[in-house]
Amino acid sequence: MQNTVHGESSPPRLSRKKRKRAARPGSNSVATISAFRSKYWRQRYSLFSRYDDGIKMDEEGWFSVTPEAIAAEQAAHAAAHGVPVIIDCFAGVGGNAIQFAARSFYVVAIEIDPRKVKCAIKNARIYGVEDKIDFVVGDFFRLAPFLKVFDI
């Protein structure tokens, strides 16, 4: 079966054993990549330029993380407007939070899934910005009424 996405054909189906191994959270090696993730695997360096330094992602992180160049552009735009604090409401594996922190923003990264927060902390450490981000495990919609806006 040929499925052309951006001019590429679908990878062959994995055996049951390989599919089971690919389903492990945090499994990022090329040998354990699922057919679902293969499209994103080819784009891994556009998601995180430091991917080979030990970046961690779960299955959802592969398709939900903002590509690094886009996150960097958003951070540069915010820097031009003098925004001192960023709240990343749905932080996922940390792509946006890392880019904002890399531009010396103070970031509050909120994520409901504790496994994603562990990935985000690890990823922020790789980029050397973990001290500029406060990670919060929680539901943004429940936390939002308690967040305060203030001038610095």
Asked if residue 136 lies in contact with residue 79, where contact means CB atoms within 8 angstroms, the answer is no
Question: Is this model's pTM higher than 0.85 or not?
Answer: no
Q: What is the mean pLDDT of the chain?
A: 81
pLDDT band at 3 (very low <50, low <70, confident <90, very high): very low
- Of 2, 72, 62, residue with least CA distance to 26: 62
Ordered by where they begin, the domains of the chain are 16-64 (no CATH), 68-146 (3.40.50.150)
| Highest averaged pLDDT of the listed ranges 6-15, 69-78, 81-90 | 69-78
How sure is the predictor about 66, in pLDDT bands with cuts at 50, 70 and 90?
Answer: very high
Q: Which residues pair with 111 in a beta bridge?
A: 137
